[in-house]
A and B are shown apart, each in its own frame.
Chain A
Amino acid sequence: MTTATAPITHISPGSALRHGFTLAGRAVTKVRKNPESLLDVTLQPIIFLLLFVYLFGGAIQGSTDAYLQVLLPGLMVQNIAFASLGTGMALNADITKGVFDRFRSMPIARSAPLIGAVLGDIVRFVVTLTVLLVVAVIMGFRVQTDPGRFLIAIALLIAFGLCLCWVSVFVGMLVKSPQAVPGTLVAFIFPLTFGSNVFVPSDSLPGWLQVWVDINPVTHLANAARGLLLGGDWVADAGWAFLWAIGIAAVFFPLALRAYRRRVG
């Protein structure tokens, strides 16, 4: 037998990261070839923006212009949460379609497909935020602060999405088909995003609901984003949102990893 090269016995974390980036590149290529796969992170935010601003804006805030200012930072949070569902769907599709077995039969890190999927999700986050901002600016939204604080807001939102996506990875490893991921997570994502002050001020809500809305990470992150984009305090809310994100990741990252190992052997 011709054994020309020494066997690969160990994969360094650096190689694992490199494999992860290569697989994230695959996700980007797929998006580029199949742009309609982004409809959920492009069309949906536009619909939400138009619907809420023009339909409810006057009733909630007195004027559509004023409502747009308050709503947009919150909508950014909501759409990051929705976009994070994609990770679990993409991973589930890879596993059920058999592409995963190819990767797993190759000398690459076990975690590489996972890293690739999560990194690839950043693309979806950036796309959904860009779409929202562009349409909102056309509708009259203006960032009131400076580029530095704007970038902090974007970074916070993406970091939140990257923590939240482990919930979707976890569910994606448990369900049979990719479509079951959003179906299952509706019960999680709706209370999280609508049970917040994204759409209406929390003091308009019944007391029991206020309790939840005031501790909801989406409320904190929306407040932080408002502060960073419109001016005002943001540090405390950003801190709370950050703690929440870390907490969610601390619970769901190990769960997702365990479910992943169990699913793919």
Chain B
Amino acid sequence: MSYAIEAEGLVKRFGDTVALDGVNLAVPPGKVLGVLGPNGAGKTTAVRVLATLLRADEGWARVAGYDVATQATAVRGIIGLTGQYASVDEDLSGTENLVLIGKLLGLSKADAKARAAELLAKFELTDAASRSVKTYSGGMRRRADLAASLVGRPQVLYLDEPTTGLDPHSRNEVWATVRGLVDDGVTVLLTTQYLEEADQLADLITVIDHGKVIAAGTPYELKRRTGGQSLQVRPTVAADTPAIATILRELTGIEPLVNTDAGLLSTPVDNPLLLSSVVRRLDEAGITADEIGLRLPSLDDVFLTLTGRTTPTTPVTEGSLA
């Protein structure tokens, strides 16, 4: 199988700091790879190497079969880059930015204008098309960045923390766009600190910490790897929490975790049949629950297990429960 993005043994040092310490990646065409890791893990460095902006000290990487070091121009003809670093010119308007990129990519002036109008419409920026980008909101700016990276119809798209700092609405918009691109056959490499984002978008996940890949696989595989399932109960009335905790303890023999903020009790279980016992005991005790079920661990749990610490910035995590 040939990969759209493939890297092996990437090492990048900045002075004494080792930003990448032997990173391997492989993304099949048309898939989304989520590169997950805390701040400073090496995610952005990896993207910059794969986008030909940085040269790795060791190892190699290929995009659609082209070597990023020796065939950089060919790679640049295929990729689109959006992120913390590659941005648009804030002194220019949305249209001017996209037309400039179109012209640099060899489009005629008319074609560049048509492509710009098309993308601005797609990203709902038509009304702001003639305004300077510096007047845009954070979400609009991110959409303009994304539009800029799509002018050349890239086969491979890098999104470096595309939703960091966005409100939930803008974030959902970016996600919808990414899904649309994947439907069109674009391969996406997405870095994120948000487990939920990786869970929502990624076919494959690579977890990086301290410049090393510490886990890779599908979201399902990663969740499986962290261990068994957990049983969760959300009481209708918070006052029932101690009674439910007692029932869970009696059935499993261990103290359940009680998250009072989320109003949720959870306990690891080996035997899924335990679920029916819990339902019966609650019924007998006359306790009602809003929610009761078995869950795979969330990516938050995965990250905690793999790195020994929780993610530094996690948005509302409830939606990430699988």
A188 at the interface (CB under 8 A from B): no
Residue in A closest to B76 when the chains form the complex, CB atoms: A107
Question: For residue B30, which residues in chain A have a CB less than 8 angstroms away from its CB?
Answer: 1
Partner of B77, one of A7, A22, A97, A112: A7
Instruction: Please measure, in the bound complex, the distance between the C-alpha atom of A123 and the C-alpha atom of B70, giving whole angstroms.
Output: 37
B88 adjacent to A99 (CB under 8 Å): yes
The stretch from A8-16, A39-47, A211-219 touching chain B is A8-16
Say how far A53's CB is from chain B's closest CB, in angstroms.
35
Say how far B191's CB is from chain A's closest CB, in angstroms.
15
Question: For residue A98, which residues in chain B have a CB less than 8 angstroms away from its CB?
Answer: 84-87
Partner of B132, one of A19, A33, A102, A265: A33
Interface string of A95-108 (1 = CB under 8 A from B): 00111011111111
A176 at the interface (CB under 8 A from B): no
A30 at the interface (CB under 8 A from B): yes
The stretch from B96-104, B119-127, B306-314 touching chain A is B96-104
Total A-B Cβ pairs within 8 A: 98
Which of B64, B96, B104 lies at the interface centre, i.e. has the most chain A CB atoms within 10 A of its CB?
B104
How many positions in chain B have a CB within 8 Å of any CB in the partner chain? 43
B54 at the interface (CB under 8 A from A): yes
B92 adjacent to A105 (CB under 8 Å): no
Instruction: Please measure, in the bound complex, the distance between the C-alpha atom of A97 and the C-alpha atom of B133, giving whole angstroms.
Output: 13
Which secondary structure dominates chain B's binding surface? loop
Say how far A27's CB is from chain B's closest CB, in angstroms.
10
Question: For residue B77, which residues in chain A have a CB less than 8 angstroms away from its CB?
Answer: 5, 7-8, 107
B103 adjacent to A97 (CB under 8 Å): no
Question: For residue B205, which residues in chain A have a CB less than 8 angstroms away from its CB?
Answer: none
Question: For residue A26, which residues in chain B have a CB less than 8 angstroms away from its CB?
Answer: 89, 92, 96, 100
Instruction: Please measure, in the bound complex, the distance between the C-alpha atom of A25 and the C-alpha atom of B104, giving whole angstroms.
Output: 11
Question: For residue A2, which residues in chain B have a CB less than 8 angstroms away from its CB?
Answer: 155, 185
**Among residues 246 to 293 in chain B, which have CB atoms less than 8 Å away from a CB atom of chain A?**
none
Q: A105-B53, A107-B105 are in contact. Are A3 and B86 (CB under 8 A)?
A: no
Instruction: Please measure, in the bound complex, the distance between the C-alpha atom of A1 and the C-alpha atom of B63, giving whole angstroms.
Output: 12
Say how far B211's CB is from chain A's closest CB, in angstroms.
19
Q: A22-B100, A33-B132 are in contact. Are A102 and B88 (CB under 8 A)?
A: yes
Instruction: Please measure, in the bound complex, the distance between the C-alpha atom of A7 and the C-alpha atom of B77, giving whole angstroms.
Output: 7
Interface residues on A, range: 20 to 34
A104 adjacent to B100 (CB under 8 Å): no
Which of A7, A22, A29, A102 lies at the interface centre, i.e. has the most chain B CB atoms within 10 A of its CB?
A102
Instruction: Please measure, in the bound complex, the distance between the C-alpha atom of A97 and the C-alpha atom of B100, giving whole angstroms.
Output: 17
Instruction: Please measure, in the bound complex, the distance between the C-alpha atom of A255 and the C-alpha atom of B187, giving whole angstroms.
Output: 40
A105 adjacent to B103 (CB under 8 Å): no
A105 adjacent to B51 (CB under 8 Å): yes
Instruction: Please measure, in the bound complex, the distance between the C-alpha atom of A93 and the C-alpha atom of B199, giving whole angstroms.
Output: 37
Which of A2, A30, A99 lies at the interface centre, i.e. has the most chain B CB atoms within 10 A of its CB?
A99
Question: For residue B149, which residues in chain A have a CB less than 8 angstroms away from its CB?
Answer: 102
A106 adjacent to B101 (CB under 8 Å): yes
Question: For residue B81, which residues in chain A have a CB less than 8 angstroms away from its CB?
Answer: 101-102, 105
Instruction: Please measure, in the bound complex, the distance between the C-alpha atom of A69 and the C-alpha atom of B89, giving whole angstroms.
Output: 43
Across the A-B interface, give the 6 residue pairs with the lowest CB-CB distance, nearest first.
A7-B74, A101-B86, A98-B87, A107-B76, A107-B77, A105-B81
Chain A to chain B contacts (Cβ below 8 Å), 10 pairs = A1-B4, A2-B155, A3-B155, A7-B78, A22-B103, A97-B87, A98-B87, A101-B53, A105-B81, A108-B76
